[in-house]
Structure 1
Amino acid sequence: MSTVKLYVYDLSNGLARQLSRQLTGKQIDGIWHTSVVVYGKEIFYGQGISITAPGQSHHGRPLQVIDVGETAIDEPTFQEFLDDMREHYTADKYHLLEFNCNSFTNDCVGLLTGGSIPDWIKDLPSDFLSTPFGAALRPTIDAMFRRPVSGAPPPTAPPVPAIQPRAAATAAAASPNPDLAATLLQAVASQAFSSQSGVAATNGRASTPSTITTTAPIHIATNPASFHNVLKTHRAVVAMFTSQTCPPCRMIEPVFERIAHERTQSADVGGGGGIAFVKVDLGAGMANTVAAEYGVRVTPTFLFFRDGDKTGEMKGANASEFESQVNLLIWETYPPHPHTQKSIPALDTVSTNPILFTQVPALDTVLSKLISFIDKSALQTTSAQTVKQRLTSEVVPWLKTRFPAAQQSKATKPPPSNQLLIHWTETTRELVTALPPGELFPLVDMWRLALLDDTVAAYCASNSGSTSDPVQLLLVQGLANISQPTPARNYTLTLLRLLSNTFASPTLGSSVLKRKPLTTILVHNLLHEDAAVRTAAASLGFNVAAFIQKERLEAVRQRYGPFAKSEEDGDWEVEIVSAVLEAIGNEKQSEEIVHRLVACLAFLLRFSPVYEMQVGPLLEVLQAKETLKSKLDSTGFSPNGVKGPALRKLITQVADGLC
């Protein structure tokens, strides 16, 4: 017979009590570390299972000593238990939130007395994660305790977990006091995971990492407290009840680990509040108590939980059935976008390839026009001569070679040299400061054509947004142009065509997609009085929406997950949708413009991550369905509505299916 005591330490050394309300909005009195004291020894878990004389561990004197009862188990039996637990409580499996000293102590107390450690200790991780600060800091803590990949050689001496640069950035973003938060977190981790010279491992053996380890992001549960904590802190949980003596368990275990990796990493549902995969080894600790709670009698058994409630169960080692059950759980927990269930055949036939303006102009005429403007400008003579020389001897000759006339189609098509592109960008920078927008359109038309070349597009993308980016230079002039009382139509038209051509390169298209100048110029010109300008603006709008549609469709095809967590800017989408709807309502002359605008609207709406919260209500306010259907008769398009059968089908299906 021996008394059993619980030693309680505060890993934050009082800082949690002082600062928790400031950092989390909730009072947390300590970051609790516990050890069990029995048979005159203090046993705890950090770098494996270690023992020392009571009160002689590196944690110093306990903050509190709790009497948890007496045990009738003799010391040799408890020693055998500890030897068995060494296979599970290894240094490489330690996690500050999921599998820690308190998990181990709870297992020991359960064996020795049949009880458990106090709830205020067991519930600390879920209490912390329930705060905005805790939820934001969860990825940082996970990164600090990343477990090794299965099959990799175990480290001989696991280092104290450190906050990596990326994790530090997460911590900083999560806290009103980044430096303090990072320092506190590192101090807690060091205290939790460090060992002390003179601390003996159980049975005199070194506490080394297990050679057979689970891999991140798989959690370990050896007692009800740790299992329930996983249920509390994750929306979806897949639990595998296994045994080391079970051959079917060994068969299905690699499948379990592979799917855990795939679903938590590529599905974008991992981390705090996402999906967790848990192993419950019935030979470890109080795992049999967890199994009994859920009626598990055979291994392997898989249980599936959503929001803490059991939703399914599977027995046996059927890999395909297991994967199907995991997919179903994630699909039900994080349903895909509601529009994935809608059939819009007319939209499916619309190509998402960008609309490009590929016509090769009479380059000598374009050059002559631009030189005439330069000659009349205030550009200094020396600069003017350099600009004209570069245009005449470098830029236009390359354009002629790269984009030959039909009768010269067999000519070579060399990429431009980097020196040519640098010279051309410098020339562009000089001209946009010397010429008004109305005299820059020949230069814009040259760049419009050049962007169809992959090398030019890559150059612009690599300099995106800088003073060495010709697209940015011309965009700024575009803003200046539309701010004039009478904007230059020729500059507007050529710039819209140039911007449409940026989408010939996915990399360049992505770099210009959300730039504020592009959005402003697009929205402004969707309602232009000139039909050619409206056509170019509708083409640009189509390219923007089609580009986004491709990204969103790929996301739906390749991953489950909380689609509304996309990084799309909801305010931007509302602005574009509003402008496109207004343009559709105003367009009464060109079916081509209507067709491009309706397709643009459909692409924006179909998988919008902000559809339910922002875009859907907007459509009702703007009476989008009525606006679209008005195009089918004389009320919205003279004289008798649009005539094209494909366009009429598209309008009807978008109005009924997406609005």
Structure 2
Amino acid sequence: MPEPVKLYVYDLSSGMAKQMSLQLTGRQIDGIWHTSIVVFGKEVFYGQGIDITPPGRSHHGNPLHIVDLGTTDIDEGTFNEYLEEMREHYTADKYHLLEFNCNSFTNDCAAFLTGGSIPDFIKDLPSDFLSTPFGAALRPTIDAMYRRPGAMQPPLPTNAAPTSMAAPNPELAASILQAVAAQAQQGMLPSSAPPLQATESLVAPLHQITNSASLQSLLRTHKAVVVNFSDMITCPPCRVIAPVYEQLAHEKGVKTVSGAGAAFAKIDLSTPPGKALGAEWSVRVMPTFMFFLDGKKISEMKGADANELRSQTDLLLFQAFPPHPHNSLSLPAMQALSLNPILFTQAPALDTAANKLMSFVTSTQWPSNVTQSQTDVKQVLFNTVLPYLKSRSNTPPLSANPILLASWAKTTSTLVQALPLESLFPLVDMWRLALLDSSVATWCAAQQSTPNTTPVHLFLSKVISSVASAPRAYLLTLLRLLSNTFSSPVLAPQLLLGQVKFSMTALLVSTLLHEDASVRTAAASLVFNAAAFLQKGRVDAVKNGGGSGKSDIEDEDWEVELVSAVVEAIDREKVNEDVVHRLTACLGCLLRLSPFYQSQMTSLLEVLQAKSILKGKLVKGGCGENGIRHMEVRESGSLDPGLSWGALLGP
């Protein structure tokens, strides 16, 4: 009779990851997952070796989630024999928080029992974490926690951000990490037992494979895969080549958001599961390396030739991630272009702005469905918000603590409901100034689960259905506020994902052609900030060894729409050189290293006649009476193809 197989899922961070991950890593991580297999009335997991308890009775307590993995036709005795074999492989000294852990074990068990695997959101968590700047910066710390004496020390990646820059509170993050690690490896040993050091060091995504289903899962989820079949016990050449293979995994493993890089796997032929896999793949020589592209084996190498291993790996990566054609272009002006966001930092006359806003509140008939009274609104603004904003020029300024921000956000929601659009611009301008404070931007980013409470969402949703008729003052302050969100590496990505991206784009498409020059300038600044953020990600991917891979925020249809809107805005701009300069720089950022350049952009630019439009800005009447006059606009704006990046625009 088929036996049900369940996966018990626990959060080792006890909710801290969900609350703090966005602040610490710039990415929402809902949990640090520990998993157990539950079958035949027992819960089996890996920590200090393989442990077995009654379901729900382990030291982790009650599971956060229970996932149904299906059923198994394997009998309990066969499963017990399998566990005994696995005890030789899943020993306490091999445990690693990110690379060889409880989830590696449950994935192997799931494959043995059902032929399937555990959910991707659990398997992919280590790569997701390591792809963040913060994860890269903490990598040596994690490695040190699990290093055996004399193990090879991989160098700190040169592109890793310093820990102090990667998170607002790196000491807190490191202490959380240590606590998670301690809980993860805790097993059924007495609490007084000394912790065991691991023998496997973290160098890159280096996967231990023990069965066919796990290997097939790895091949399905990675574009490029290198597999090492070896026996470290009886094969001297295997031991000689092992450090080279680990170094390759560190240098060329999947470590960027774009996914560029290979997955590296090890299959231990000294174990019964490894021998079965070796027989399945007809391995007769140790070591044997196999190279897979899109799930298909494309080459094989026998023996311990380090140079050949490197060459084969490089060839695989070249086929999987061909270099972008722009890598071979000489673009000195484009490369010298600052990608720092254009910010609007001037402080308004705060008392005047607050009094104006209060006059609007006083003169408005308060809606019956609004629960916060006018008196409460005034108290929050004058007693809490105004003192905080005024202190921004002091040393040290007042802290924008979560209580203050939650109160202000609630009042903002009330005012957005109660006031007409033309009365809200003083409030928008206050938030515009506040978002230059990193603590405010981080708090807004952390409200991802309740986005409708943040000022960005509230102000965008208020205007999105009526941009064409919206008051100039509201549009101007909103565009400047959105530009200032790019001062925060944590908040900025949220403007380029989901519904807020499409709302912002609708706003941009309309305001880039607005009749008011100040509005057009602010819109040009915002679209440049968005394009520069994209460009930074692409440049980082190239530096990390990526090719033309796509990051989370790359979107072909969206980028085509932006390029079309920017070219049209350049064509129509006849007065303001600053607008032309910002839009042309924006166009360069949208095009350079674009993963869609060959598939979409070249033909689009030809249809739009982009090159002739840009050249037209140089002639009389193109922009101003005599055309573009400032040489820096000609060069960094690339209006002269001989000076800069005209090659991006096509023939």
TM-score bracket, normalised by the shorter chain, equals 0.5 to 0.7
1:477 has 2:478 as partner: no
Structure 1 residue identity aligned to 2:362: D
Number of the residue aligned with 1:191:
73
Give 1:492 deviation, angstroms: 0.9
Secondary structure at the aligned position of 1:599 is classed as helix
Among 332, 339, 354, the residue aligned to 2:341: 354
Higher relative contact order (CA 8 A, sep 6+): 2
Trace 1:310-321 onto structure 2 (pairs within 5 A).
Answer: 315-316=303-304, 318=306
SS of aligned partner of 1:478:
helix
1:221–1:280 CA contact under 8 A, matched in 2: no
Q: 1:291–1:206: structure 2 CA closer, same or farther, 3 Å change rule?
A: closer
Give the 3-state SS of the residue equivalent to 1:196 in structure 2: helix
Alignment partner of 1:384 is 2:374:
yes
Q: Aligned in 2, Cα 1:535/1:466: closer, same or farther, shift over 3 Å?
A: same
After superposition, the Cα gap between the structure-2 partners of 1:325 and 1:531, relative to the gap in structure 1 and judged at 3 Å, is same
Cα deviations by residue, 1:586-625 (Å, 9 ceiling, x for unpaired): 1122221111111111212223233333333322222222
Q: What is the rounded CA distance, in whole Å, between the counterparts of 2:280 and 2:455 in structure 1? A: 68
SS at match of 1:186: strand
Whether the 8 Å CA contact 1:154–1:210 is kept in 2: the answer is no
Instruction: Name the amino acid aligned to 2:460.
Output: L
Matching residue's letter, 1:544: A
Counterparts of 2:367 and 2:570 in 1: how far apart (Å)?
47
Give the secondary-structure state (helix, strand or coil) at the position aligned to 1:507: coil
Distance 1:291 1:373, change over 3 A: closer
Structure 1 residue matching 2:536: 3-state secondary structure: helix
Per-residue deviation, 1:230: 10
- Distance in 2 between residues matched to 1:315 and 1:608, nearest whole Å: 40
Q: Kindly tell me: are residues 306 and 418 of structure 1, through their superposed partners in 2, closer, same or farther at Cα, counting changes over 3 Å?
A: closer
Residue 570 of structure 2: aligned partner:
584
Identity across matched positions, percent: 42
Alignment-derived partner of residue 7 in structure 2: none
SS in structure 1 of the partner of residue 634 of structure 2? helix
2-structure distance, mates of 1:275, 1:375: 63
Aligned partner of 1:498 in structure 2 is: 481
Q: 1:630 is matched with which residue?
A: 616
Q: Distance in 2 between matches of 1:629 and 1:378?
A: 54
Paired AA for residue 186 in structure 1: G
Q: Which residue is equivalent to 2:495?
A: 512
Residue 399 of structure 1 corresponds to 389
Counterparts of 1:426 and 1:267, CA distance in 2 = 38
Aligned to 1:468: 453
- Look up the SS of the partner of 2:417 in the other structure: helix
CA distance in structure 1 between the aligned counterparts of 2:534 and 2:615, rounded to whole angstroms = 25
Structure 1 residues 254, 587: closer, same or farther in 2, change over 3 A? same
Q: How much does 1:373 deviate?
A: 2.5
Shift of 1:489: 0.8
Q: Residues 156 and 355 (structure 1 numbering): CA distance in 2 closer, same or farther, change over 3 Å?
A: closer
- Distance, in Å, in 1 between the alignment partners of 2:303 and 2:535 is 41
Give, in angstroms, the shift of residue 315 of structure 1: 4.9
Q: Secondary structure at 1:517's aligned position in 2?
A: helix
| 1:655 corresponding residue in structure 2 | 646
Give the conservation status (yes or no) of the 8 Å contact 2:342–2:483: yes
1:542 counterpart (507, 524, 528): 528
Cα distance in 1, alignment partners of residues 257 and 471 from structure 2: 47
- Which amino acid counterpart does residue 594 of structure 1 have in structure 2? V
Query: How do 1:20-419 and structure 2 match up within 5 A?
Result: 155=50, 186-187=70-71, 190-191=72-73, 194-196=75-77, 207=85, 209-211=87-89, 217=207, 236=224, 238=226, 240=228, 242=230, 244-256=233-245, 259-260=248-249, 263=252, 265-266=254-255, 277=265, 300=287, 302=289, 304=291, 315-316=303-304, 318=306, 322-323=309-310, 325-379=312-366, 383-403=373-393, 411-419=395-403
Matched, 1:619 2:605: yes
The farther-off stretch of 277-286 and 459-468 is 277-286
Q: Give the secondary structure class of the aligned counterpart of 1:249.
A: helix
In 1, the alpha carbon distance for the partners of 2:518 and 2:336 equals: 25
Structure 2 distance, partners of 1:402, 1:518, is 28
What TM-score results when the alignment is normalised by the length of structure 2? 0.61
Partners of 2:535 and 2:589 within 8 A in 1 = yes
- Name the counterpart of 2:412: 428
Q: Which 5+ residue runs of structure 2 have no aligned equivalent?
A: 4-35, 38-45, 56-62, 95-99, 105-206
Q: Check 1:414–1:280 CA distance in 2 against 1; reply closer, same or farther (3 A cut).
A: closer
Deviation at 1:535?
0.5
CA distance in 2, matches of 1:507, 1:286: 44
Deviation of 1:166 (Å): 9.6
Does structure 1 conserve the Cα–Cα contact (< 8 Å) formed by 2:324 and 2:593?
yes
The size of the alignment, in residue pairs, is 476
Higher radius of gyration, 1 or 2: 1
Displacement of 1:512: 2.6
Partners of 2:259 and 2:549 within 8 A in 1: no
Deviation sequence 1:456-486 (CA, Å, 0-9, x none): 22232223463421222222223255253xx
Give the AA of the match of 1:425. Answer: A
1: CA distance between counterparts of 2:591 and 2:282? 47
Q: What are the Cα deviations for residues 83-125 of structure 1, in whole angstroms up to 9, with x where unaligned?
A: xxxxxxxxxxxxxxxxxxxxxxxxxxxxxxxxxxxxxxxxxxx
CA distance in 2, matches of 1:195, 1:449: 65
Does structure 2 conserve the Cα–Cα contact (< 8 Å) formed by 1:574 and 1:615? yes
| Amino acid in structure 1 at the alignment position of 2:429 | D
SS at match of 1:155: strand
Instruction: Judge conservation of contact 1:347–1:602 (CA < 8 Å) in 2.
Output: yes
For 2:419 and 2:453, the matched residues in 1 are separated by 18
What is the letter of the counterpart of residue 514 of structure 2?
Answer: H
The alpha-carbon distance between structure 1 residues 480 and 302, as it changes in their structure 2 partners (threshold 3 A), is closer
Q: State whether residues 238 and 276 of structure 1, in contact with CA within 8 Å, keep that contact through their aligned partners in structure 2.
A: yes
Deviation at 1:498, TM superposition (A): 1.0
Give me the whole-angstrom Cα distance separating, in 1, the residues matched to 2:215 and 2:418.
70
Q: Distance in 2 between matches of 1:232 and 1:374?
A: 58
- Listed one character per residue, the Cα deviations across residues 380-438 of structure 1 (whole Å, up to 9, x for unaligned) are 8993333333323332222222235xxxxxx5411134343333223322322332222
Please provide the CA RMSD for this pair.
Answer: 4.6
- Give, as a single letter, the amino acid of the residue that structure 1 aligns with 2:445: A
2:444 equivalent to 1:457: no
Secondary structure of residue in 2 paired with 1:634: coil
Q: Please, what TM-score do these two structures have when normalized by structure 1?
A: 0.61
SS in 1 for 2:431: helix
CA contact (8 A) 1:302 1:314 kept: yes
Q: Which amino acid aligns with 1:489?
A: R
Would you say 1:639 and 2:625 are equivalent positions? yes
Q: Which runs of 5+ in 1 are unaligned?
A: 1-10, 14-142, 145-150, 169-181, 405-410
